[in-house]
Amino acid sequence: MDKNLYFRLIFVPIIIILLTIVFITFYNIIELEKSKQQSIEKMTKNFIEQNKQMVYDKVHQTVLDIDYHREQNLNLSKSDMKEKVDLLINALNNNYKYNKNRKTTKELKQELLHLINSQNIKNSNNYIFVLDIQNGNVLVHNIKEFIGVSLRDKKDINEISTFQSKVDILKTKDSAFQRLFFEKPNEPNKQFEKIVYFKKFKPYNWIIGTGRYLDENDKKIKDNFIKKLNTIQTDLQNYLFISRIDNFAGGDEFSTMLVMPNKKELIGKKISDKQQDIKGKYYRKEYFEALKKNNETYVEYWYKKSNSNEIGKKLSYFYLYKPWNWVISAGFYFEDLEKYIEENEKIIAQEIKRKLENTVYVSLIFLMIAIVLFYTFAKNITKKLQKYINQIAEQKSTFSSLFENTTDGIMLFKDGFFYDCNSAIVNMFKFSSKKGCKEKTFIDLSPSNQYDSEDLFLFLEKNILQCMKSGSAHFEWSFLKTNGELFDTEVTMSKIILDDGDIIHVLIKDVSERKKLREESLQKDSILIQQSKMASMGEMIGNIAHQWRQPLNALGLTIQKIKMYYEEDMLSQEELDKAVDKSKVLITKMSTTIDDFRNFFRIDKTKQQFNIKDAIQDTMGLVDASLKNHHIFIDITKTNNDIDFLGYKNELEQVLLNLINNAKDALVENNIENPKISIESFLKNNYIFIEIQDNAGGVSNEIIANIFDPYFTTKEQGKGTGIGLYMSKMIIQNNMSGNITVENKLDGACFSIKLNQEKINE
């Protein structure tokens, strides 16, 4: 190895470290300056957020205080109203009980109404009212215009019925509180919100109640809050200020200032939404428009500081308290932020200086350690490098040997062409040398009529793209040897990353011999299927004979009867017609039998959805006569009517026929008394099960594992081929994706067919 490598290993890293230290130092300077700016931005953001939260909390604490005092005052008012009405009605009840037999109804009513009227003060907003439930008329009221008038049709501004709503409430309650809008005695043309307490006076079916207007109820609370806030606020930089919206259309006198510790001269004065700050901003109009939409807002503007002519930047929070149309506000100036930032900038500058000094000291120490370390380990590093170089050379030699000596063909593919191959490819294609594959494509080495139905170029492109995307692709392909001989292969593509880019490693395995064996196996299965059909046909001929025996006997008797009647001169036209009609029925029945057996042998080419019980009953129609001939009872009462399956109905019937015939033969051969076959179908765990069970004694344990093997039979020579159960298993497994098993149950064998219910409605 070059001796200069020692110096390169020592000094090059040191130079890199020096440059890195310089870079890190300048980078730290930039980052620390950036951190400084970020710190200032963060301080600014925190200051604003904290102060925004502070003024928000101050405003909403005031709102909570107002709501609390209003609620307390309202509860006191409700208690007073209830006590007033309850005492009045108690007095009226006592008066009624005392005078109901002493005075006429009219006199007593007048006396009671006079007593109620005595409770009202002229033009007072707190009064007693009486309503007649029967006709809705006002009997007592502080607004004279309503007395004697029916309130049945009267509604407030919220469409609440003034009279009927009370009647409806008193259907389920003895008394109640209610909120609505109503006129005042001194302002009959405008409605105001009020709370009403009312109760039913049962003797005369009257509603008696009283109420208080909420604005009158709140007046004392408003005055107390305005007075308190104008008095106790001494911090003229962070204070609460309140105005009342008088005109929601805006304008020069849209609002009245109620609380303003900073400028007490504005208290009670009208203010305009056209007021501008020193920057020309209509800040009042901005917060006013925002309040109409969102009920709250923050607005930034310039405003004169307290006890100073200096104008400062300010951010205020405005909240519209709708019950009173008050705008409750609080704000803060930004001058504290500037002082805070100025103080922290000095601290940040000192921290930056300290960090830079630490960086330089640490870098110098690290540089000295690096020089010693690189000098000490330089020789060891070069030795290890030499060792690795030798190992790589050995690995390259091993890879080259594996590439050349593997029995499977390997070609390297890039940009649509093969550019290298191993010796196995040369032998496989009968090339004279490796040059035979270079600059060749798949199409160049393949016949034009591939067995795949897709377009050759499209098929290849799809697999190449799949290999480049997912890393591999696998498919079957036919190639041509140089002598024109065709051979079948399995092709496996794998993406490999080399120094000069991505290539495709193509592994080619000759499967011609395997394919030949597979075709021979398929041919063998075809012969077995043919033998199974022939065996089934023999069974069917026997079944046709059983089906025809009874109608043929009946037809023969009918013909003999015609001859006998004719010879004895007893054959009338009526008797002749009856005999002919009966013969036609018998012939039709025999023809139908032929159609049923012919349909059984029809080959289904497409899957269809069919009912399992229908398939069982159709099969029964083919063997019913044969079973009756041997006095065999067949029970299908446990077959489910609602099970459907998507598949080949005739093939399932062929399997059922094989299993029923096997059961019949076992019952006959064993001379079973009371022979019986049971068929059951059911659903379990998303699978369809069909079970055929007999009482013929079962299958011997020595042979039960072999009964589905081809050519295996327990019948005498010439009575069985041994392919019926084998073909039944092939049909269920290969054509129906199911399974067939056998086991001994009770006193016979039970064959179970299992089909996947998910095949339905695919």
DSSP characters for 578-638? HHHHHHHHHHHHHHHHHHHHHHHTPPP-S-EEEEHHHHHHHHHHHHHHHHHHTT-EEEEEE
Residues 6+ apart with CB under 8 A from 759: 645, 646, 647, 736, 737
Average pLDDT, the chain: 81
- Express as a percent the part of the chain with pLDDT over 70: 78
| Alpha carbon distance 234, 230 (integer Å) | 9
User: 276 and 286 in contact (C-beta within 8 Å)?
Assistant: no
Convert the pLDDT of each residue in 560-608 to its tens digit. 778 777 777 777 888 777 777 767 665 765 665 565 555 555 555 578 8
Convert the pLDDT of each residue in 340-379 to its tens digit. 677 666 676 676 667 667 776 777 786 677 667 666 766 6
Question: Which of 105-114, 323-332, 334-343, 549-558 bottoms out in mean pLDDT, i.e. has the lowest?
Answer: 549-558
Domains and CATH numbers, the chain: 103-217 (3.30.450.20), 233-333 (3.30.450.20), 406-510 (3.30.450.20), 520-759 (3.30.565.10)
Residue 636 has pLDDT above 60, yes or no: yes
The amino acid at 150: S
Q: Where are the alpha helices (DSSP H) in 630-698?
A: 649-669
- Tell me which of 141 and 394 has the higher pLDDT: 141
- In which band, very low, low, confident or very high, does the pLDDT at 761 lie, cut at 50, 70 and 90? very low
User: 437 and 456 in contact (C-beta within 8 Å)?
Assistant: no
Convert the pLDDT of each residue in 282-317 to its tens digit. 999 999 999 989 999 999 988 877 666 778 888 999
Phi, psi dihedral angles at 477 (to 5 degrees): -155, 145
Question: Which of 94-103, 330-339, 428-437, 458-467 bottoms out in mean pLDDT, i.e. has the lowest?
Answer: 330-339
Residue 399 has pLDDT above 70, yes or no: no
- In which band, very low, low, confident or very high, does the pLDDT at 717 lie, cut at 50, 70 and 90? very low
Residue 442 has pLDDT above 50, yes or no: yes
- In which band, very low, low, confident or very high, does the pLDDT at 195 lie, cut at 50, 70 and 90? very high
Q: Which of 623, 615, 607, 643 is nearest to 547 (CA)?
A: 623
Average pLDDT value for residue range 390-408: 69
Convert the pLDDT of each residue in 655-701 to its tens digit. 888 889 889 888 988 899 899 999 999 998 889 999 999 999 888 88
Average pLDDT value for residue range 246-271: 89
- In which band, very low, low, confident or very high, does the pLDDT at 170 lie, cut at 50, 70 and 90? very high
Exposed (0-12), middle (13-18) or buried (19+): which is 111, by Cβ within 10 Å?
middle
Q: Which residues of 141-154 are buried (b: 16+ CB within 10 A; e: fewer)?
A: bbbeebeeeebeeb
The pLDDT, as a whole number, for residue 536 is 57
| Alpha carbon distance 598, 224 (integer Å) | 107
Sheet holding 409-414, edge to edge: 417-421, 409-414, 501-510, 486-498, 472-480
User: Which range has the top average pLDDT, 9-13, 23-27, 473-477?
Assistant: 473-477
SS (H, E, C) 343-404: HHHHHHHHHHHHHHHHHHHHHHHHHHHHHHHHHHHHHHHHHHHHHHHHHHHHHHHHHHHHHH
DSSP per position, 37-93? HHHHHHHHHHHHHHHHHHHHHHHHHHHHHHHHHHHHHHHHHHHHHHHHHHHHHHHHH
- How far does CA 660 lie from the centroid of its chain? 50
State the Rg of the chain over Cα. 54
- In which band, very low, low, confident or very high, does the pLDDT at 760 lie, cut at 50, 70 and 90? very low
Average pLDDT value for residue range 414-437: 85
The pLDDT, as a whole number, for residue 145 is 86
Residue 762 has pLDDT above 50, yes or no: no
User: What pTM, to 2 d.p., does this model score?
Assistant: 0.44
